[in-house]
Structure 1
Amino acid sequence: MNNDIVAGKWKQLTGKAKAAWGELTDDELTRVEGNAERLTGLIQERYGKTREEAEKEVRTFFDSNR
């Protein structure tokens, strides 16, 4: 999904992101602002995943919410 589109729809997607990654706080999701790189970093840090695993999760999340 195009990053500009994601950023524009981010407020709508935060609920789904919260459901997908429940350990992320509302403040963290707000700071992400739909930026895939920031979200990947947060998931990697919070869940102890590799960069590749986190990137795949984020890509799948954005693709499924077009």
Structure 2
Amino acid sequence: MAGINKPVALHWLRHSYETHLLESGTDLRNIQELVGHNSSRTTEIYTHVSIKSLQQIKSPFDDL
């Protein structure tokens, strides 16, 4: 047994899959194709960006 005490839904696993793809560098448009969304806006809603990913963004102003 996995020892997971919280309810888990397949829908949440799909969110996680899309988020991990995005965080590993997969282009949003490619994720859209993989999961079969008609609109990239839908893919944007279902992908979540972690704080760690946001902290790794380098500002173009840092090079000035």
TM range (shorter): 0.3 to 0.5
- What TM-score does the superposition give when structure 2 sets the normalisation length? 0.37
- What TM-score does the superposition give when structure 1 sets the normalisation length? 0.36
Query: Quick check: which one's helix share is greater?
Result: 1
Determine which structure has more spread, i.e. the larger CA radius of gyration. 2
